[in-house]
């Protein structure tokens, strides 16, 4: 892949992508309700397989409930994820997997489409947060069973991830190493391993 004109100038969206980091240290400052709603609205607008819109977001900002959630989620083996408890908001990403065509398609293809949909909606939320000066961190390292129990999550919901949300105490300046574009994409052939 070569471009004789040289690389394009970074767009505002690309600058958001380049600046986004997983943040693990949050300020105690509350998140403004309008910013939180804008993030949730961004997620709501995401596309989904067969328009099932499986995403549900439990917004945990009550200090007592957040404390119970942290105690359930980050004890013992999961202690390394305790940083999330300092964020003013913890989002609980839940899914209601589709029925019928979507469930059949997932089974035939061997791909749980609801997880793809959750990833798209979650990333919409993350990028909106970044644009608004907020920080996030996708989290899968927590005690799923204890979180389900602590939050009384009904059986029809799949617990997908947790996402602390707030203002970063400090933002890393450098970007973690990334593969080159040629290292991940190839035209008309399989990309390199």
DSSP 142: S
Phi, psi of 125 (to 5 degrees): -60, -45
CATH number of the domain where residue 116 is located: 3.40.109.10
Task: Give per-residue pLDDT as tens, 16-63.
Answer: 999 999 999 999 999 999 999 999 999 999 999 889 999 999 999 999
For the chain, how are helix, strand and coil distributed in percent, rounded to 5?
45, 15, 40
Angle at 14 between CA 88 and CA 177, to 5 degrees: 80
Q: Is position 33 within any domain?
A: yes
| Sign of the torsion angle spanned by Cα atoms 40, 64, 32, 173 | negative
pLDDT at 69 over 90: yes
At residue 193 the predicted structure's pLDDT band, cuts being 50, 70 and 90, is confident
Q: How far apart are CA 151 and CA 94, in angstroms?
A: 12
Q: Is position 157 within any domain?
A: yes
pTM of the complete model: 0.90
Q: Is position 41 within any domain?
A: yes
Q: Is position 50 within any domain?
A: yes
Q: Is position 9 within any domain?
A: no
Task: Give per-residue pLDDT as tens, 154-163.
Answer: 999 999 999 9
At residue 8 the predicted structure's pLDDT band, cuts being 50, 70 and 90, is confident
pLDDT at 1 over 70: no
Domain of residue 53: give its range.
25-169
Q: How far apart are CA 55 and CA 157, in angstroms?
A: 10
pLDDT at 107: 76
Q: How far apart are CA 60 and CA 119, in angstroms?
A: 20
Tokens standing for residue 88: 């003013």
Region 88-116: mean pLDDT is 84
Q: How far apart are CA 182 and CA 2, in angstroms?
A: 9
pLDDT at 2: 47
Distances from the Cα of 162 to the Cα of 87, 125, 142, angstroms: 12, 13, 8
Q: Is position 164 within any domain?
A: yes
Q: Is position 125 within any domain?
A: yes
At residue 6 the predicted structure's pLDDT band, cuts being 50, 70 and 90, is low
Q: Is position 48 within any domain?
A: yes
Q: How many domains in the chain?
A: 1
């Amino acid at each position: 892949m070569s471009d004789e004109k040289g690389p394009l100038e970074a767009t505002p969206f690309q600058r958001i992508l380049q600046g986004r980091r997983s943040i693990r240290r949050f300020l105690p400052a509350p998140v403004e309700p309008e910013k939180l709603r804008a993030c949730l609205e961004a997620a709501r607008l995401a596309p989904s397989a067969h328009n099932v819109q499986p995403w549900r977001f439990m917004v945990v900002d009550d200090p007592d409930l957040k404390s119970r959630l942290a105690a359930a989620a980050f004890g013992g083996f999961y202690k390394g994820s305790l940083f999330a408890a300092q964020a003013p908001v913890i989002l609980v990403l839940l899914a209601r997997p589709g029925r019928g065509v979507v469930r059949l398609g997932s089974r035939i293809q061997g791909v749980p489409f609801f997880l793809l949909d959750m990833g798209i909606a979650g990333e919409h939320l993350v990028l909106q947060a970044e644009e608004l000066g907020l920080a996030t961190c996708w989290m899968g390292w927590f005690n799923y069973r204890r979180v389900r129990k602590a939050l009384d999550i009904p059986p029809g919901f799949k617990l997908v991830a947790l996402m602390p949300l707030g203002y970063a105490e400090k933002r890393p300046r450098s970007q973690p190493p990334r593969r080159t574009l040629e290292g991940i994409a190839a035209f008309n052939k399989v990309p390199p391993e």
